[in-house]
Amino acid sequence: MTDQGVFSLPSTSKDSRSQFRQSGCRFWIKRAFDCGAALCGLIVLSPVFIAASVLVWLSMGRPIAFRQQRPGRFARPFMLLKFRTMSDGRDAGGKLLPDADRMTRVGRLLRATSLDELPQLWNVLHGDISLVGPRPLLMEYLSRYSPQQARRHDVMPGITGWAQINGRNALTWKEKFALDIWYVDNWTMMLDLRIVMLTFMRVLKRDGISRAGHVTMPEFMGANVAAPLKSRDRDVGVKMNLCIYCSGGFGKEVLDIARRLNRAHSLWDRIVFLDDMREESSFYGADVFRLEAARERFGAAAMQAVIANGEPFVRKALLEKLDKAGIDTASLVDDRAVISETATIGAGAIIFPGCFVSSMAVIGRNIAIIAGSTIGHDTVFGDNCMVSGQVNIGGGCSIGSESYLGMGAQVKEHTRIGRAAIVGMGSIVFADIPDEVIALGNPCRPMRPNINKRIFG
């Protein structure tokens, strides 16, 4: 399991077929089992459902249900339902109190018996989740996953799962994700039945309800969260240096954005280029260094980098070099771009002037979005994508990692663009585009496999 904080949907895994395990006939068998079991559960447990609703209403008032957007299969958002277990208590400054202070007696009872999860049977009937699968976590975690961790979204999420019967919230995040990936790679209907039976035993024993010292699971911060500079480093005046990886036409545009941001906000001590191919020592008024020379000159702890290359797989390769060198990635968001406060922007993303990123959109790591592009609400990107200028993407779309969207492309809402797909300039996408294809036209259709994984040349 890798420890790099990279978000990828779908990811490049050791078993690229994992996302197809729950497909075709096998998917419909699992779906029939889910619907039958969920419907029986709602009927048989209806007295418990009513009793729990009354208890929540008497102890906390309305609303009875807790609703929160979570990522489903391929990270497509849906609204998760649970019984409320915490009050809305706030401090004098209007901020929510810690979970331990807001958890009610009824909430503790519901969590201890797992009855707070009962409303998710409606999610199962609706097709948002399955009875068994990796638990759907928070939307903001998407950009914090490593490629391996992101593979948990190759299958339907579930009410219970392999991690839940092997420790639940008593596990560390790393252990939980490892169990999720094992489930993805080994899924069968017999495994689901085994998990369902073992879940009843775990609920009766009340194992793993919370981590030691926590009422709920601690927040997942990502495997590659950059450690802040130590206070003693800051005391001696360590300043960050922005390194733009690749000097060329794209690099000039990125340098212009970085200089403008630096004039307005004084973010970096120096802005330089990294380029292992260029012989000149300067380009476009900025110094040029080879990667190792820059690392020796500034030190990895005082470097941040962005990648100025339009080839998705080159972006990916350069990002891996930066990760190996221990150099953090910076996000460049031009002040003239409009970004919703509920959107998530991954490390290393570059967003040009005139772009609009709507509510609850998730922009993965190391993505470039060129001027005038619009990203609709709840759209989720993988890593290392390239979005050319004037691209319009509707709400609720899923864009796979290492994808390229040509200038002026239009993507209909709730459409999936597969991993390593190329959508040609001016194409209008009405239907899902598979992985690793070149798609063109109006309407946009797959033309041939993307064998070379190259856009230019």
pLDDT at 225 over 70: no
Name beta bridge partners: 339: 357
Q: For residue 10, what pLDDT is reported?
A: 34
At residue 169 the predicted structure's pLDDT band, cuts being 50, 70 and 90, is low
Torsion of CA 115, 144, 140, 262, to 10 degrees: 160
Per residue in 37-51, pLDDT (tens digit) is 999 999 999 999 999
Per residue in 346-366, pLDDT (tens digit) is 889 999 999 999 988 889 899
Mean pLDDT over 170-183 rounds to: 85
Considering the chain, tell me which residue range(s) the CATH 3.40.50.20 domain(s) occupy. 231-329
Q: Is 153 a catalytic residue?
A: no
403 vs 399: CA distance, rounded Å: 7
At residue 90 the predicted structure's pLDDT band, cuts being 50, 70 and 90, is confident
360 vs 364: CA distance, rounded Å: 13
At residue 206 the predicted structure's pLDDT band, cuts being 50, 70 and 90, is low
122 vs 125: CA distance, rounded Å: 5
Per residue in 112-158, pLDDT (tens digit) is 888 889 999 999 999 999 999 999 998 888 878 877 788 898 899 99
Topology given in CATH for the domain delimited by 335-449: UDP N-Acetylglucosamine Acyltransferase; domain 1 (2.160.10)
pLDDT at 238 over 70: no
Closest CA to 21 of 12, 30, 9: 30
Name the range with the highest mean pLDDT among 2-16, 163-177, 401-415.
401-415
How crowded is the C-beta side of 298, counted as CA atoms within 13 Å? 29
- Taking the alpha carbons at both ends of the chain, their separation in whole angstroms is 34
Residue 300: which residues within 8 A CB-CB, separation 6 or more?
325, 326, 327
Q: Enter the CATH code of domain 231-329.
A: 3.40.50.20
Q: For residue 233, what pLDDT is reported?
A: 34
Q: 434 near 421, Cβ under 8 Å?
A: yes
Range scoring the smallest mean pLDDT among 52-61, 249-258, 307-316, 420-429: 52-61
Per residue in 373-387, pLDDT (tens digit) is 999 998 999 899 999
At residue 2 the predicted structure's pLDDT band, cuts being 50, 70 and 90, is very low
41 vs 117: CA distance, rounded Å: 12
At residue 313 the predicted structure's pLDDT band, cuts being 50, 70 and 90, is very high
Residue 205: which residues within 8 A CB-CB, separation 6 or more?
none
At residue 21 the predicted structure's pLDDT band, cuts being 50, 70 and 90, is low
Range scoring the smallest mean pLDDT among 29-43, 156-170, 356-370, 379-393: 156-170
DSSP state of 74: G
Instruction: Kindly name the residue from 126, 153, 265, 377 that is annotated as catalytic.
Output: 377
Considering the chain, tell me which residue range(s) the CATH 2.160.10.10 domain(s) occupy. 335-449
Q: What percent of the chain has pLDDT over 70?
A: 87
pLDDT averaged over the chain?
A: 85
Report residue 224 as tokens: 């590659």
Stretch (H or E) spanning 132: strand 130-132
75 vs 382: CA distance, rounded Å: 9
Q: For residue 202, what pLDDT is reported?
A: 76
Closest CA to 372 of 355, 387, 392, 360: 355
Per residue in 405-436, pLDDT (tens digit) is 999 999 999 999 999 999 999 999 999 999 99
Q: Where are the beta strands (DSSP E) in 184-290?
A: 241-245, 270-274, 282-283, 286-289
